[in-house]
């Protein structure tokens, strides 16, 4: 069960990364994303 959750979260983060990269206001999206993910202990370098 835990493995499935990790895979789901990783999949969602990949989807979010693609959205952020394709956004017209990419910098703003990435900055907001970093701020939100910080609460979960996820850093920008984790997304790269």
Measured distance CA(30)–CA(19) in Å, rounded:
10
Measured distance CA(20)–CA(33) in Å, rounded:
8
| Average pLDDT of span 33-46 | 85
Tell me which residue range forms the domain holding 25: 2-47
pLDDT value of position 27 = 86
- Conformation bin of residue 11: beta by default, left when phi > 0, alpha when psi is -120 to 50: alpha
3-class SS at 24? coil
pLDDT in tens, 4-36: 888 888 888 888 888 888 888 888 888 888 898
Neighbours of 1 (CB within 10 A): 4
Q: Is the pTM of this model over 0.75?
A: no
pLDDT value of position 1 = 60
pLDDT in tens, 3-12: 888 888 888 8
Contacts of 14 (CB under 8 A, 6+ apart): none
pLDDT value of position 34 = 85
Domain count, the chain: 1
């Amino acid at each position: 069960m835990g493995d499935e959750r990790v895979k789901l979260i990783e999949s969602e983060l990949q989807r979010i990364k693609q959205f952020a990269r394709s956004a017209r206001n990419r910098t703003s999206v990435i900055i907001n994303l970093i701020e939100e993910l910080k609460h979960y202990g996820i850093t920008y370098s984790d997304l790269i």
